[in-house]
Amino acid sequence: MEKELNKILSSFQGKSNELIPALQQIQEELGYLPGDAMLYAAEFLNVPESTVFGVASFYAQFRFTPVGKNMIMVCKGTACHVKGAEKVLDEISRQVGIEDGETSADMQYTLESVACIGCCALAPCITINSEVHGRLNAKSIEKIFKRKKAEEKTNE
């Protein structure tokens, strides 16, 4: 762990004002912020560990638990809300078998509702990792996840 973190933070100088980019870098590499990694960052940046956690927990972008291979973000912004974001969430939940905020036991999926992902014209929409899926309904959702599951199988 220590070696890995050392590598991850190698481009940083160890100054306290690097805290947020450093946390972002760790999350980029590890997928989330493990406690030990935050302690390491605290010592490296000479910032109290309580402050590291305070900052990390303040921003929605930071996560303290591992995420699934596929990160599903369901938009609940105004446009999506009007176009039935709630139903979209329910359908996805049915498809992947987890509730909002959870990660599947096989570490394939993490489901999370977010405020707005900025593609209101496509409402209701979601992102899976970096790909955007818009104008969704129960059918298209089913299709997406069927394809995903098929991809998984071929990968295996």
Partner 1 sequence: MKVNITIDGIKLKVDDSLTVLEAALENNVYIPNLCHHKDLIPSGSCRLCLVEINNRKVQVIACKIKVEEGMTVITDNPEINFIRQMTLELLHVNHTQDCTNCMKNTNCQLQEVTSYIGTNETRIEQMRKNRPLIPVDTSNPFFNLDHNKCILCGICIRTCNEIQGVDALQYGYSGFDTLVCTFLNKPIKESVCESCGECVVRCPVGALIPKNMQRPSRTVKTICPYCGVGCGINLGVRGEKIVSIEGDYESPVNKGRLCVKGRFGYEWINHDERLKTPLIKKAGKFVESGWDEALELIAKNFSKYKSHEFATFSSARCTNEENYVIQKFTRAVMGSNHIDHCARLCHAPSVAGLAQSIGSGAMTNSIKEISDAASIFAIGSNTTESHPIIGLKVKEAKWNGAKIIVANPRKIDLCKFADIWLQHKTGTDVALLMGICRVIVDKNLIDESFIEKRSENFDAFKRSLKEFGLDYVEKITGVPAKQIEAAAEIYASNSPASILYAMGITQHTHGTDNVLAISNLALLTGNIGKLSSGVNPLRGQNNVQGACDMGALPVVYPGYQKVADPKAKQKFEKAWNCKLSDTPGLTLTEIVNSAYNKKIKALYLIGENSLLSEPDANHVRKSLQKLDFFVAQDIFLSETARLADVVLPAASFAEKDGTFTNTERRVQRIRKAINPVGNSQPDWWITCQIAKKMNRKGFDFKNSEEIFNEVALLTPSYKGISYKRIEKEGLQWPVNDEKHKGTPVLHKDVFPTASSKAKFFPLKYRPPAELPDKQYPLILTTERSLYHYHTGTMTRRVDGLNQLNERELVEINPVDAKTIGVNDGDKVCVTSRRGNVDAVAKITNKSPAGTVAMSFHFFESPTNVLTNPALDPVAKIPELKVCAVMIEKG
Site residues, partner 1 (CB under 8 A) = 35, 38-39, 48-54, 57-59, 64
Residue 144: left if φ>0, alpha if ψ -120 to 50, beta else—which one? alpha
Where would I find the H helices in the chain?
A: 2-8, 19-30, 35-45, 49-58, 78-82, 85-96, 138-155
Query: How long is the chain?
Result: 156
Q: Least distance to partner 1 from the beta carbon of 84, Å?
A: 26
Looking at the Cβ atoms of 58 and 78, the one nearer to partner 1 is: 58
Q: Least distance to partner 1 from the beta carbon of 48, Å?
A: 3
Looking at the Cβ atoms of 14 and 35, the one nearer to partner 1 is: 35
Residue 112: left if φ>0, alpha if ψ -120 to 50, beta else—which one? beta
Q: Least distance to partner 1 from the beta carbon of 47, Å?
A: 9
Query: Tokens at residue 144, please?
Result: 């997406």
Distance CA 85, CA 115 (A): 11
Contacts of 122 (CB under 8 A, 6+ apart): 132, 134, 135
Q: Least distance to partner 1 from the beta carbon of 9, Å?
A: 18
Looking at the Cβ atoms of 59 and 149, the one nearer to partner 1 is: 59
Q: Taking a C-beta distance cutoff of 8 angstroms, is the pair 45, 19 a contact?
A: yes
Looking at the Cβ atoms of 61 and 78, the one nearer to partner 1 is: 61
Q: Any idea which residue has 């299709």 for tokens?
A: 143
Looking at the Cβ atoms of 11 and 57, the one nearer to partner 1 is: 57
Q: Least distance to partner 1 from the beta carbon of 51, Å?
A: 5
